[in-house]
Amino acid sequence: MTHSILDYELRLNGKSILLKNATGEEVLAVAHHYLSQGTTMIRTGRWLERVAASVPDGKRVGEVMGVKELERLQATSRKEAA
């Protein structure tokens, strides 16, 4: 048995639904979920890159950075992602 793109599995509210059985509204809800995950991951990745660049070799984040500096870097990453 061959699978068709119509058999693409969507996850919606903890349930599995095949693309061919989904309504447009359900597909849009899944699309929005994927898009929001991507944005969050990009923003977090950019923030962590900034954190890494701020930590000297051999040091740990907690040794060289405080909460305020981490929050500042995080806020900068959020603004850029918007």
pTM of the predicted structure, to 2 decimals: 0.65
Identify whether the C-beta of residue 30 lies closer than 8 Å to the C-beta of residue 16: no
pLDDT in tens, 45-60: 999 999 999 999 999 9
Identify whether the C-beta of residue 5 lies closer than 8 Å to the C-beta of residue 19: yes
Residue 21 has pLDDT above 80, yes or no: yes
Integer Rg of the chain from CA? 20
Residues 77, 50: Cα–Cα separation, whole Å: 9
Nearest C-alpha neighbor of 22 from the set 32, 14, 36, 12: 12
